[in-house]
Amino acid sequence: MKRINLDHISSQPLLPEVKAVMIAAIEKDHHNPSSQHQEGEAAAAALEKAREQTARLINAASPKEVVFTSGGTESVNHAIKGAALANMERGKHIITTNIEHNAVIRSIRRLKSQGFNVTSLSVDSTGRVNPQDVANAINDETILISVMHSNNETGTLQPVAEIAKIAREKKILFHTDAVDSVGTVPIDVQKLGVDLLSFASNTFYGPTGVGGLYIKRGTRIWPLLEGGVQEGNKRAGAENLIGIIGMGKAAELAFLDMDKRLDYLTRLKNMLIQDFPRYIDEYLVNTHPEYSLPNLFSVSIKYIEGESVMLMLDDDGIAISTRSACATGSLRASHVLMSLGLSHADAQGTLVISFGIDNTESDMTAFLESLQKTVNTLRDISPLYKKTVQSNH
Amino acid sequence: MKRINLDHISSQPLLPEVKAVMIAAIEKDHHNPSSQHQEGEAAAAALEKAREQTARLINAASPKEVVFTSGGTESVNHAIKGAALANMERGKHIITTNIEHNAVIRSIRRLKSQGFNVTSLSVDSTGRVNPQDVANAINDETILISVMHSNNETGTLQPVAEIAKIAREKKILFHTDAVDSVGTVPIDVQKLGVDLLSFASNTFYGPTGVGGLYIKRGTRIWPLLEGGVQEGNKRAGAENLIGIIGMGKAAELAFLDMDKRLDYLTRLKNMLIQDFPRYIDEYLVNTHPEYSLPNLFSVSIKYIEGESVMLMLDDDGIAISTRSACATGSLRASHVLMSLGLSHADAQGTLVISFGIDNTESDMTAFLESLQKTVNTLRDISPLYKKTVQSNH
């Protein structure tokens, strides 16, 4: 049976072109890019080609501003801990939001245990941060602001450029976790005006466990991984060259196909939003109607548990998720959904439907049909649903 | 022309079996191991298989004691910074040696800037640390000892089990950087009695940019990468599953073929040591005659510069190195060689010849012939050599 992947936020398939360059890299068996003999120089050339491809995707002023990492989590840890610790003599206050990914939350929590003070801003009911709240939170001790570019559970885009402008005026470093945005929506680090930007290859159909950190030239930051002189002394360790070559190719294709992919994904998303009420009633939409990723739709369906829906759809051959894969196994309700003001019950009924260029309109229809069946079954055995339905009649 | 790789310490080729499983993993296109649907579970099974293969190579009591990382450098940074910061309320003194890899040196230097005190022990002229020196350096504030298992520039093995015993008796955490040992010589973490052990996949013909950290059950340590719940909450971030699958296969083969490889490499090394004086005179051997890796031979050839030899051999189709690839570009003499008591001039004439199971006896002979020609050429134009030779006659 053909399986349908509507859990792209957890894992995107590799593009055929990405597979091809990775397999070629495995067969070529590159030497160490830091070595000075011919084999080393050939490997270094492959590494720098991937850096140029990646820098172009985010429009870095120079490829040197892109540091390769082992993924979004390393990039975020590096950005936040590295920037905070390198600048702590100027102050120990950090501003962030309540809806960040756990990589941001836990990095900042670690700094808190080391004497930093943190202001964590709430979002409005659409899931957006108000730039004015950021401006109001700044004090003389503020050295770092970290606000995500898009949220991985709701898909909502944040007003990053506006916040970056406020930070720049106050000479405060600004980091954005753009892990779910880079490669999916156009990102221009120069236009955004950020100092630090984290991203991951698997968001744009590259391999998992590979990512990058944009570090604007002149930004004061400590390395997270220290040792050798790789990555311009910004990130030590022998490079995952096979993965990096894969990311480079994926970045090149994401850059070239950006408009085409945006159009296609937006069409799928609009179809889903439009068709949804024909299959399901009584649900809340968590995704911002205007400022949101083209490939993610989050809904909270009343009177059911998302976890049960996920398992029943899985039996029907459809993969979806209820929240960030990074938080799997946690029994607590999502901090992101609670921040939107959802009740605990509604948060538990949340589904994150994330799709990609490999999905089709018929995938969406198959999903909606299966979802309708599943929700009806679950509601039939839900005492809460019966009670509510009865009281409404 | 067939190139000869005698720079295995910088890069080992991938084994055909490793290439095959990595290519299969690329083609299979695994989902996220943290996801709970069927695709996620299949990926999680592949991840855990690799963990078992890797745990077996180092004889960990449980696969759960193996945490996958992005390589030796991350493992070392995690071990040292994570253990020191998690235990600093017990004291802020660390013991290490003068011959560690830069990953250890720079991680400890970073801690020094955060208020830790460090005792760095010297080695004897054979490059070994005296366990008694470690015992003598311990004070009430000592919380961590880090001594490498084998040195990447000389190949000399350290008395790790003896030092670990001393640490254990004093209830001090012990870490060993075994990046150049695991997969090359038998390593049994339980017999060694270490709490933390760093290793890297490319040492045993697996992919670069993948490694592991052995964390003995119950060891108090902070994660370096924080965020999601991956790796038993010890290392966040979506896994480099393709690379990890490659490391698992490489670990399995290293375990199965350990004796065979040891025999073969020892034979190549003995041949090199025995034949060397027939081709070259006036050199110092930096590798310990008894306690050393089977695949590395370090010599300092008098009156020449290692860098020039490396470049001339490169033209002859032979890759060697003069020092750690991680320190390439640095103009300073190797801290390891200076610690052995070498003069600056002798240190500059050092060659690190490192080989593997893909090398043959004829590679060794071709190398020695090319080296003889190169050294003669360089000495002919060396004023220092002429002056010394003249004064000897």
- Residues of A with a catalytic annotation lie at 326
Greatest CA separation found in chain A? Answer: 81
Output the pLDDT for position A1.
63
SS (H, E, C) A107-163: HHHHHHCCCCEEEEECCCCCCCCCHHHHHHHCCCCEEEEECCCECCCCCEECCHHHH
Output the pLDDT for position A388.
78
Give the minimum alpha-carbon distance from B168 to chain A in angstroms, rounded to a whole number: 27
If you count DSSP H runs as helices and E runs as strands, how many of each does chain A have, helices first?
Answer: 13, 12
- Helix (H) or strand (E) segment spanning residue B241: helix B241-279
Q: Give Cα separations from B49 to B67, B248, B252 (angstroms).
A: 13, 7, 10
Give the minimum alpha-carbon distance from B391 to chain A in angstroms, rounded to a whole number: 36
How many CB atoms are located within 10 Å of the residue A309 CB?
23
Taking an 8 Å cut-off on Cβ atoms, the answer to whether B229 and A327 are in contact is: yes
Nearest to A32 among B11, B26, B73 (CB): B11
Give the contacts of B87 (CB within 8 A, at least 6 positions apart): B143, B144, B173, B220
Output the pLDDT for position B331.
56
Which residues is B196 bridged to in the sheet? B175, B215
Q: Which residue of B has its CA nearest to A326?
A: B228
CB of A248 within 8 A of CB of A53?
yes
Give the residues of chain B that fall short of pLDDT 50: none
Output the pLDDT for position B191.
98
Helix axes A241-279, A16-28, angle to 10 degrees: 160
Whole-number Å distance between alpha carbons of A264 and A281: 26
Taking an 8 Å cut-off on Cβ atoms, the answer to whether B35 and A238 are in contact is: no
Whole-number Å distance between alpha carbons of B261 and B3: 22
- B285-323 tens-digit pLDDT: 999 999 999 999 999 999 999 999 999 999 999 999 987
Output the pLDDT for position B391.
67
Torsions phi, psi for B384 (to 5 deg): -60, -40
Taking an 8 Å cut-off on Cβ atoms, the answer to whether A320 and B72 are in contact is: no
Output the pLDDT for position B333.
74
Residue the block writes with tokens 């090319």: B370
Whole-number Å distance between alpha carbons of B372 and B377: 9
Active site residue B280: no
Residue B303 in tokens: 């009156």
- Mutating which of A1, A5, A15, A26 best tests the B interface, going by the most B Cβ atoms within 10 A? A26
CA angle in degrees (0–180, nearest 5) for B13-B18-B22: 115
Taking an 8 Å cut-off on Cβ atoms, the answer to whether A34 and B102 are in contact is: no
- Helix (H) or strand (E) segment spanning residue A268: helix A241-279
Which residues is A211 bridged to in the sheet? A69, A200
Nearest to B319 among A13, A37, A226 (CB): A37
Alpha helices by DSSP H, B138-208: 160-169, 189-192
Residue the block writes with tokens 């071990």: B79
Whole-number Å distance between alpha carbons of B38 and B36: 7
Dihedral in degrees, nearest 10, Cα atoms B241, B245, B246, B251: 130
Output helix, strand, coil percentages for chain A, rounded to the nearest 5: 45, 15, 40
Taking an 8 Å cut-off on Cβ atoms, the answer to whether B226 and A321 are in contact is: no
Taking an 8 Å cut-off on Cβ atoms, the answer to whether A238 and B327 are in contact is: no
Whole-number Å distance between alpha carbons of A200 and A210: 6
CB of A211 within 8 A of CB of A199?
yes
Greatest CA separation found in chain B? Answer: 81
Give the minimum alpha-carbon distance from A59 to chain B in angstroms, rounded to a whole number: 25
Q: Which residue of A has its CA nearest to B72?
A: A237
Beta-strand pair B296-301/B283-285: antiparallel
DSSP-assigned states of every residue in B274-302 = HHHHHH--SEEE-S-SSSB-TTEEEEEET
Whole-number Å distance between alpha carbons of B341 and B352: 17
R_g (Cα) of chain B, nearest Å: 22
CA angle in degrees (0–180, nearest 5) for A353-A354-A360: 100
Reported in sequence order, the residue ranges of chain A that DSSP labels E, i.e. its strands, are 4-5, 66-69, 93-97, 117-121, 142-146, 173-177, 196-200, 211-215, 283-285, 296-301, 318-319, 350-354
pTM for the full predicted model? 0.95
**A238: closest CA among A44, A54, A379, A378?**
A44
Domains of chain B: 4-11+257-383 (3.90.1150.10), 16-254 (3.40.640.10)
Give the residues of chain A that fall short of pLDDT 70: 1, 324-332, 390-393
Nearest to B325 among A30, A35, A224 (CB): A35
CB of B136 within 8 A of CB of B164?
no
Whole-number Å distance between alpha carbons of B76 and B261: 26
Which residues is A5 bridged to in the sheet? A319
CB of A155 within 8 A of CB of A297?
yes
